[in-house]
DNA sequence: CAACATCTGTTGTTTACGCAACAAGTGCTG
DNA sequence: CAGCACTTGTTGCGTAAACAACAGATGTTG
């Protein structure tokens, strides 16, 4: 992602950071449903009314945080203006895998907490949004097909990875990518850009 | 020190912390006279106009920071309401020694920078202020003698310690205290409280 | 020395945030 | 179920900080 268009007031930037950091700390101490907005703001040292100037509720805070962390990881691994091609799909698969593993990899098998469910959902939705952008940039899909194709593509990546991650199978991100790419190409190769980047 | 009487607005507390932390970082990178208020506020992420809402200039910031750090160390080592007695003088000597050593102990012998000079001055002045408070609490000194006695007492502690520290002699805080206490008692024993605490 | 770049100290205005309070909602307990 | 403690979402007001701009001061350079 390029430089933000409008510079945010440093105070607002800071406040959001405090709130997000507080949420992260509290999630390490108790379950999501046990955490109140009061807890978050007290931990962050921010007035509770200020919380509502930035987020609708604690779900909004969590979802936003997850999306931003995921997007930061994508920004690190992918080119600045990715198109829908094999190389970028590979990088995306690896990123999704590593991101999910980072969250789920620390739980006992079969245990799915509400925060993990929420987190997984955010990753899927955001992955779809990203793919939609890629497809639009490539111009290989008709406008009315964008939603369908991006949804299918995201689930082809997301579904198998979620299953592998939740079942705690010992596989590497590269292995997963090598297994998924041929299948994705078989189904969506028609929309793929032939060139690099 | 007991709980502050009026709760400071958390925003102001934070801003001061940022500024003080920025000063500390910059002092590790360049000399005091090379540091501008602009540098400090940029590092702290605080608007320059805000700096002047809290401090008169960069000297004020440095002096205040030194005094607060020193006072924090004193608060850790001394009882809540110290009186002018042998035990507390001993603790004070140890604290002064350790505080000065913490700043000066990392320089080459004979090298006295302007920040160290400023820092030493703050310690002497603050030590005198503290001793004045002790004497006043003990009631063993007439009002018109408070300044003189507290000044003498502070220099009897401060002077020898500064010399030892600057000359880089390898002595412990306890050793210095054992050497200074008899001399201080000989000179100021008449004002000392006999009891503990 | 004049010109210039940089910094300082200040000012008025705008913006984000702190605070106290309130009504309503939620969960727990006897 | 009623009572209670706690939380939520919101509001109006006051406060601290951000911002842009200005005049003056300071240090450097040709």
How far is Cα B55 from Cα B10, in angstroms, rounded to an integer? 17
CB under 8 Å to B182, separation ≥6 — which residues? none
Distance, CA of A37 to C1' of D2, in Å:
28
Tell me: do A49 and A96 sit in the same domain: no
pLDDT greater at residue B86 or residue B169: B86
- pLDDT score for B106: 56
Q: What is the CATH number of the domain that holds B31?
A: 1.10.10
Q: pLDDT band at residue A1, thresholds of 50, 70 and 90?
A: very low
Whether B7 has its CB under 8 Å from any CB of chain A: the answer is no
CB under 8 Å to A88, separation ≥6 — which residues? A78, A79, A82, A134, A197
Tell me: do A99 and A166 sit in the same domain: yes
pLDDT greater at residue A167 or residue B86: B86
Whether the per-residue pLDDT at B11 is higher than 80: the answer is yes
Contacts 24+ apart (CB under 8 A), A106-112: A109/A166, A109/A167, A109/A168, A110/A166, A112/A166
Tell me: do B163 and B98 sit in the same domain: yes
Tell me: do B23 and B101 sit in the same domain: no
Contact status, residue B103 vs residue B116, Cβ threshold 8 Å = yes
Residue of chain B whose alpha carbon sits nearest to that of A44: B10
Integer angstrom CA distances of residue A16 from A4, A10, A11, A45, A188: 16, 10, 9, 11, 39
Tell me: do B72 and B35 sit in the same domain: no
Question: pLDDT tens, B91-130?
Answer: 999 999 999 888 765 555 545 667 777 888 889 999 999 9
- Residue pairs spanning A and B at CB distance below 8 A: 4
Contact status, residue A185 vs residue A85, Cβ threshold 8 Å = no
Q: Residue B85 corresponds to which tokens in the numbers above? A: 């007695």
Tell me: do B106 and B188 sit in the same domain: yes
Closest-lying nucleotide for A9 based on CA to C1': D18
Whether the per-residue pLDDT at A197 is higher than 60: the answer is no
Domain that holds residue B171: 63-196
Tell me: do B51 and B143 sit in the same domain: no
* DSSP state string for A66-107: HHHHHHHHHHHHS-SS--SSHHHHHHHHHHHHHHHHHHHTTS
The domain boundary residue, chosen from B36, B55, B74: B55
Give which of B113, B99, B95, B122 is closest to B28, Cα–Cα. Answer: B113
User: Cα dihedral sign for A30, A35, A39, A44?
Assistant: positive
How confident is the model over B131-156, as a mean pLDDT? Answer: 89
Tell me: do A114 and A35 sit in the same domain: no
Whether A10 has its CB under 8 Å from any CB of chain B: the answer is yes
Whether the per-residue pLDDT at B1 is higher than 80: the answer is no
ipTM: 0.80
Q: Residue A194 corresponds to which tokens in the numbers above? A: 């032939």
Tell me: do B34 and B71 sit in the same domain: no
Tell me: do A71 and A41 sit in the same domain: no
How far is Cα A68 from Cα A33, in angstroms, rounded to an integer? 21
Q: Which residues of B35-96 form beta strands (DSSP E)?
A: none
Q: Supply the DSSP symbol for B169.
A: -
Whether the per-residue pLDDT at B23 is higher than 90: the answer is yes
Whether the per-residue pLDDT at B169 is higher than 80: the answer is no
Residue carrying the six token digits 């503290």: B130
The domain boundary residue, chosen from B13, B34, B55: B55
Q: Residue A84 corresponds to which tokens in the numbers above? A: 């829908």
Tell me: do A67 and A157 sit in the same domain: yes
- pLDDT score for A101: 86
Contact status, residue B51 vs residue B19, Cβ threshold 8 Å = yes
Q: What is the CATH number of the domain that holds A101?
A: 1.10.357.10
Tell me: do B49 and B119 sit in the same domain: no
Question: pLDDT tens, A81-130?
Answer: 888 888 999 999 999 999 988 876 555 555 566 777 788 888 999 999 99
Q: pLDDT band at residue A4, thresholds of 50, 70 and 90?
A: very low
Residue carrying the six token digits 């205040």: B64
Domain count for chain B: 2
């Amino acid at each position: 992602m390029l430089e933000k268009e409008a510079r945010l007031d440093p105070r607002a930037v800071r406040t959001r950071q405090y709130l997000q950091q507080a949420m992260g700390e509290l999630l390490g101490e108790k379950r999501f449903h046990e955490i109140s907005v009061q807890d978050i703001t007290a931990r962050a040292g921010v007035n509770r009314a200020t919380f509502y100037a930035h987020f609708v509720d604690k779900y909004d805070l969590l979802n936003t945080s997850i999306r931003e962390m995921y997007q930061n990881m994508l920004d690190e691994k992918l080119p600045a203006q990715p198109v829908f091609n094999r190389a970028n799909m590979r990088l995306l698969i690896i990123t999704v895998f590593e991101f999910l593993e980072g969250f789920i990899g620390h739980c006992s098998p079969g245990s799915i907490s509400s925060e993990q469910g929420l987190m997984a959902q955010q990753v899927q939705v955001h992955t779809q949004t990203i793919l939609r952008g890629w497809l639009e940039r490539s111009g290989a899909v008709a406008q009315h097909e964008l939603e369908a194709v991006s949804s299918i593509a995201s689930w082809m990546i997301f579904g198998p990875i979620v299953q592998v991650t939740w079942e705690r199978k010992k596989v590497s991100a590269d292995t997963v990518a090598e297994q998924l790419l041929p299948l994705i190409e078989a189904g969506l190769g028609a929309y793929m850009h032939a060139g690099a980047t």
